[in-house]
């Protein structure tokens, strides 16, 4: 009969976990989980750690959403709708909190969706129109000539037409465009053969929008990273050369169905012997909060130094991150083509 206490104990644990700890279904699980959480992810958030501000921890930001679900107005919670938006914007979208969270709560996604409610949807950015049946490479504003000067790279991608795009891939702009305008713009790519993206982040924003709007254009998306992966993966990096990867590349793109071979095989760049870092996505955050993004960069680089991790050269897969980090490390931050001087 010694099994009776065991069964009783298992039953007690089950009742405790399933019944007493169950969240009320009146509110969303994610915001509730964060609201009642002892902040297991707190140390991981680059924004709250850099600003040294408890109100912008992942839990702090999600709590605002939870209070709003409970019927409180942004005015009452933070003083004004403008203040509430400021809090919701204090996220680089780095995904570190999700990685450390036992429940894998997507804080960045919840904040991104919530921000949209604060924007009035007016068509702000100029959306480029394209011809039919095109091979297209989307680049950031001001980078068209940079790309055109790299004939070898472009040849490998079948010489795409290079288009500068300030469009809705930026999370700060995405919520400001009406869904109808966004959908009709995405539909204009239906005859394109390939849609190349220089950054994993930008590709992911585009893909997520396609998914939200139920548009099949996603199949045409190609990452420049993918085209050159087979060459890069076999490269040896020295101990002082670090590779700057991104959460979008390693986690988010596979979730929206993009094949990223190195990650698909369960391999991360560090398993290829690469010394890997991830600054946390300040490249995009800096568009809304440039001063704070600079503070994040300084802290990140200082942390590397104080950890004794010498990084004489940083190679990033994102040109946006290259620009952001290069402001403090002139001459030592490069995009991927640095690995192939020829």
Q: Which residues bind ligand SF4 (CB under 6 A)?
A: 33-34, 37, 39-41, 44-47, 58-59, 62, 91-97, 101, 103, 105, 107-108
- Stated as kind and residue range, the H or E segment containing 36 is none
Nearer to ligand SF4, 104 or 187 (CB): 104
Nearer to ligand SF4, 40 or 301 (CB): 40
- In the three-class reduction of DSSP (H, G, I as helix; E, B as strand; rest coil), residue 116 is classed as helix
Give the distance from CA 80 to its chain's centroid: 28
- In the three-class reduction of DSSP (H, G, I as helix; E, B as strand; rest coil), residue 248 is classed as helix
Nearer to ligand SF4, 41 or 114 (CB): 41
CB of 186 to ligand SF4, least distance (A): 26
CB of 95 to ligand SF4, least distance (A): 5
Nearer to ligand SF4, 201 or 241 (CB): 201
| Whether the Cβ atoms of residue 316 and residue 334 lie closer than 8 Å to each other | yes
* Spatial CA neighbour of 136 closest among 209, 231, 206, 213: 206
- Stated as kind and residue range, the H or E segment containing 277 is strand 275-277
Q: What is the DSSP letter of 42?
A: G
CB of 57 to ligand SF4, least distance (A): 7
CA atoms within 13 A on the CB side of 267: 12
User: What per-residue string of b and e applies to 173-199 under the rule 16 or more CB within 10 Å gives b?
Assistant: bbbbbeeeebbebbeebeebeebbbbb
CB of 39 to ligand SF4, least distance (A): 5
Nearer to ligand SF4, 40 or 173 (CB): 40
For tokens 């001459």, what's the residue?
Answer: 331
> Which two tokens mark 299?
């802290």
- The DSSP bridge partners found for residue 242 are 275, 314
Q: What is the DSSP letter of 26?
A: T
CB of 23 to ligand SF4, least distance (A): 11
Nearer to ligand SF4, 41 or 217 (CB): 41
CB of 59 to ligand SF4, least distance (A): 4
Nearer to ligand SF4, 72 or 99 (CB): 99
> Which two tokens mark 68?
């709003």
For tokens 């190609």, what's the residue?
Answer: 222
CB of 281 to ligand SF4, least distance (A): 7
């Amino acid at each position: 009969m010694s099994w009776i206490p065991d069964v009783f104990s298992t039953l007690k644990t089950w009742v405790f976990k399933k019944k007493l700890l169950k969240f009320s279904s009146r509110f969303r699980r994610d915001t509730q989980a964060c609201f009642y959480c002892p902040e297991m992810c707190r140390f991981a958030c680059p924004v709250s750690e850099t600003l040294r501000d408890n109100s912008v921890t992942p839990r702090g930001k999600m709590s605002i959403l939870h209070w709003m679900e409970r019927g409180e107005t942004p005015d009452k919670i933070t003083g004004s709708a403008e203040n509430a938006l400021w809090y919701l914007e204090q996220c680089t979208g780095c995904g570190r909190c999700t990685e450390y969270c036992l429940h894998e709560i997507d804080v960045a996604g919840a904040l991104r969706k919530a921000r949209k409610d604060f924007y009035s949807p007016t068509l702000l950015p100029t959306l480029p129109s394209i011809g039919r049946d095109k091979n297209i490479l989307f680049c950031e504003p001001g980078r068209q000539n940079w790309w055109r000067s790299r004939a070898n790279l472009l040849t490998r991608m079948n010489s795409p037409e290079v288009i500068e795009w300030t469009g809705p891939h930026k999370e700060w702009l995405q919520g400001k465009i009406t869904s109808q305008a966004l959908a009709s713009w995405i539909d204009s790519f239906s005859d394109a053969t390939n849609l190349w993206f220089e950054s994993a982040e930008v590709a992911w924003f585009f893909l997520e929008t396609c998914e939200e709007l139920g548009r099949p254009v996603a199949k045409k998306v190609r990452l420049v990273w993918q085209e050159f992966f087979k060459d890069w993966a076999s490269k040896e990096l020295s101990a002082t050369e670090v590779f700057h990867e991104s959460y979008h590349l390693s986690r988010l793109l596979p979730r929206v169905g993009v094949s990223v071979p190195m990650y698909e095989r369960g391999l991360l760049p560090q398993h290829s012997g690469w010394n890997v870092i991830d600054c946390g996505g300040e490249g995009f955050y800096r568009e809304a909060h440039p001063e704070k993004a600079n503070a994040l960069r300084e802290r990140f680089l200082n942390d590397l130094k104080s950890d004794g991790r010498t990084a004489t050269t940083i190679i990033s897969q994102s040109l946006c991150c290259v620009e952001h980090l290069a402001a403090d490390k002139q001459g030592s931050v490069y995009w991927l083509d640095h690995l192939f001087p020829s």
